[in-house]
Structure 1
Amino acid sequence: MNIATTHVIFGTGPLGRAVMNELIRRGKQIRMVSRSGQMAEIPEGVAIVAGDLYNADCVREVTRDAAVVYQCAQPHYWAWPEKFPPLQAAIIAGLTGSQARLVIGDNTYMYGDTRGQPLTEDLPYAARTRKGKTRAAMSQAALEAHTTGKVAVSIGRGSDFFGPWVTDSTFGARVFYPALEGKAASFVGKLDLPHTATYIEDFGRALVILGEHDEALGKAWHVPSDRPEMTQRQFAQLLYYTVGHPIKVSGVSKPMMALAGLFIPGARETVEMMYEFEQPFVVDANRFAQTFAMQATPLAEAMEATVAWYRMHPQLR
């Protein structure tokens, strides 16, 4: 009997890359899967193949020798309700009966507006937004697939993230590139309220940890972040200190976001999620930290690594 040893990552975006980085550190055999089969700056020894993840037969083929599968692929933000559920359904169908574990990278939209209450894994799925309802239904479907024995599933949930390759985020290019030039970084909503930011490399490390532990299975877990109660302004203060410029920030209000949404699909889809930026938004990850003894990367270290990456990639602004 052959022992499956390959770690298969669906998606070559920031989260897929972060999982890849952690697996490289652990000396694992890695296969990346994307629709194009292409990826910039591929590390030596990492395989990348093209695959249609909406096709269960393709999923089955590219994971035939997989020990763990990390689901980090997603459609465009504005297409989630229509295209995300069939993507996950095909992945689960393709893995049904496999010995591979499925680790899903997720967010916190399914909880809905908690009125400033910290987010824990025990909260009900109370989302009223389109994307929140989509995420809730997908989480329920994934955990049901585990319960019914189709595939062994665990879920890792992060907050808004930042880090290398993270450009399309509220803590992404619109924040880091202006800061590097001494210009005003554009944040979302109210800047002096707590708002958890997840370092993408911590997210990747957390998903790998989930794939290693039996006790992670059948559950959703929140990814640890350093200083989870930090405000966006405090994030900006550390950023500008790191780049060596005086702090300059602006905040995009809900009406401004709605106006931008007339022309920009991503902004239009952000409007319904603005509640996250108009009240405290703190993700409690104590359960993960205590169960798996994971400590998040110190924020100053994460900031330095992120700034260094942006300096090396000016062409992506």
Structure 2
Amino acid sequence: MSKVALFGAAGAIGQSIATALSNKGRPYRVVGRTDASLRNTFGTDPLAEIVTWNPDSPASVIAAAEGIETLIYLVGVNYWQFELHPELMRKTIDGAVAAGVKNIILIGTVYPYGMANTSRVREDHPREPHTFKGRMRKAQEDLLMQAHKDGRINATVLRLPDFYGPGVTASLLHGAAHAAVNGGTADMIGPLDRPHEFVFVPDVGPVVARLVDTPAAFGRIWHFAGAGVTTQREIVSEMERQTGRQLKLRVAGKTMLRLIGLFKPLIREMVEMNYLMTNPLIMDDSALQKLLGPIHKTSYVEGIRQTLVAESSTRPLAAAA
């Protein structure tokens, strides 16, 4: 029986974690709302147990968590529905506790911090979110860590920066990768020349798989930073170098996002988070490296290469469509 469950498994990070668990020969359960989507993604792996749930139904949450020792929480919501994050976390904690789950790992973000007041942000940096999305993510974390403090369940959070990688469409860099391979104009969110960091999605899974087996990880929050400080402009330049093609860019700053947002709700929701593009928040993950030992981080050069190769492999399908 599976002892590790990925709730909200179908996204890029969930797939990376599933791959890492599978590579270790470890059975795992993937939990999501749609059976067809889960089977399309994980159906060929004999180690994957596929379970659907309704997070609004306490009985469904308990059933999805039954027999699980460690629950990895990756549940997403629409970008315009962040008020659901705390409520879904509360329901999942209650169901997990009722089902006898021992541990929960939340895959988190930098949103709860708000503006960085240090050049490198450690886990003890004040959490002072000035955005609605940041407050909702902070409330989500607080619910989980309070459950740990109350002795209901062992909990930890792994915070990640922006990410990219093969097949990852929900990335600041996807438009550039698509244009680098297919031509056309890359839509990007600026400014492009400010320091930034990105984590390569395939690097995340092995770290999470190690946290599952590290009792000392629970009870506090950890950072997993990118492969160094870069800029979006440098990423674009590397894509141009690798493809030999100069990219055409269409860059939207905060003002342009507001204008586009008048017609596109998703873009409108990005306005309040644009501070992360203008005010760098660079993570310090020395604590995680001290906990786990050496951690592999794919270089941007290699990560971009793999991302472009994956984008090239989808080109015939896109043309046929």
Question: What is the alpha-carbon distance in structure 1 between the residues aligned to residue 45 and residue 59 of structure 2?
Answer: 28
Question: What is the alpha-carbon distance in structure 2 between the residues aligned to residue 118 and residue 56 of structure 1?
Answer: 40
Q: Is the contact between residue 70 and residue 105 of structure 2 (CA under 8 Å) also seen in structure 1? A: yes
Q: What does residue 151 of structure 1 align with?
A: 153
2:36 to 25, 38, 53: 38
- Match for 1:262: what amino acid? L
Aligned-pair CA distance for 1:311? 2.2
1:125 to 112, 119, 127: 127
**2:240 is the counterpart of 1:240:** yes
Question: CA offsets per residue over residues 133-173 of structure 1, 9 Å max, x none?
Answer: 0011111111111111111111111111111342122222x
Aligned-pair CA distance for 1:247? 4.2
Q: Is the contact between residue 163 and residue 200 of structure 2 (CA under 8 Å) also seen in structure 1? A: yes
**Equivalent residues in 2 for 1:169-248 (5 A)?**
169-172=171-174, 174-227=175-228, 229-248=229-248
- Match for 1:236: what amino acid? V
Q: Quick one: percent identity of the two aligned structures?
A: 25
**2:108 is the counterpart of 1:106:** yes
Question: What is the alpha-carbon distance in structure 1 between the residues aligned to residue 81 and residue 313 of structure 2?
Answer: 31
Unaligned runs of 5+ in 2: none
Aligned-pair CA distance for 1:116? 6.7
Scaled by the length of structure 1, the TM-score of the pair is 0.91
**2:132 is the counterpart of 1:135:** no
Q: SS where residue 66 of structure 1 aligns?
A: coil
Call closer, same or farther: CA 1:208–1:117 in 2, change over 3 Å: same
Question: What is the alpha-carbon distance in structure 2 between the residues aligned to residue 308 and residue 59 of structure 1?
Answer: 39
Question: What is the alpha-carbon distance in structure 1 between the residues aligned to residue 153 and residue 256 of structure 2?
Answer: 44
Q: Is the contact between residue 105 and residue 156 of structure 2 (CA under 8 Å) also seen in structure 1? A: yes
Question: What is the alpha-carbon distance in structure 2 between the residues aligned to residue 116 and residue 177 of structure 1?
Answer: 34
Question: What is the alpha-carbon distance in structure 1 between the residues aligned to residue 282 and residue 184 of structure 2?
Answer: 28
Question: What is the alpha-carbon distance in structure 2 between the residues aligned to residue 254 and residue 201 of structure 1?
Answer: 31
Q: Is the contact between residue 116 and residue 279 of structure 2 (CA under 8 Å) also seen in structure 1? A: no
Question: What is the alpha-carbon distance in structure 2 between the residues aligned to residue 100 and residue 310 of structure 1?
Answer: 39
Q: Which runs of 4+ in 1 moved over 4 A?
A: 314-317
Q: Is the contact between residue 177 and residue 310 of structure 1 (CA under 8 Å) also seen in structure 2? A: yes
Scaled by the length of structure 2, the TM-score of the pair is 0.90
Question: What is the alpha-carbon distance in structure 1 between the residues aligned to residue 89 and residue 149 of structure 2?
Answer: 16
Q: Is the contact between residue 147 and residue 153 of structure 2 (CA under 8 Å) also seen in structure 1? A: yes
Question: What is the alpha-carbon distance in structure 2 between the residues aligned to residue 99 and residue 53 of structure 1?
Answer: 16
Q: What does residue 95 of structure 2 align with?
A: 94
Q: What does residue 73 of structure 2 align with?
A: 71
Question: What is the alpha-carbon distance in structure 2 between the residues aligned to residue 116 and residue 261 of structure 1?
Answer: 31
Call closer, same or farther: CA 1:91–1:165 in 2, change over 3 Å: farther
Unaligned runs of 5+ in 1: none
Call closer, same or farther: CA 1:244–1:66 in 2, change over 3 Å: farther
Q: Is the contact between residue 115 and residue 281 of structure 2 (CA under 8 Å) also seen in structure 1? A: no
Q: What does residue 274 of structure 1 align with?
A: 274
Q: SS where residue 146 of structure 2 aligns?
A: helix
Q: Is the contact between residue 4 and residue 70 of structure 2 (CA under 8 Å) also seen in structure 1? A: yes
Aligned-pair CA distance for 1:64? 1.4
Q: SS where residue 270 of structure 2 aligns?
A: helix
Q: What does residue 4 of structure 2 align with?
A: 7
Aligned-pair CA distance for 1:5? 4.6
- Match for 1:299: what amino acid? Y
Question: What is the alpha-carbon distance in structure 2 between the residues aligned to residue 283 and residue 187 of structure 1?
Answer: 22
Q: SS where residue 80 of structure 1 aligns?
A: coil
**CA RMSD of the aligned region, Å?**
2.0
Q: What does residue 18 of structure 1 align with?
A: 16
Q: Is the contact between residue 34 and residue 49 of structure 1 (CA under 8 Å) also seen in structure 2? A: yes
Question: CA offsets per residue over residues 166-204 of structure 1, 9 Å max, x none?
Answer: 2122222x2221121234433212111110111112222
- Match for 1:53: what amino acid? P
Call closer, same or farther: CA 1:112–1:213 in 2, change over 3 Å: same
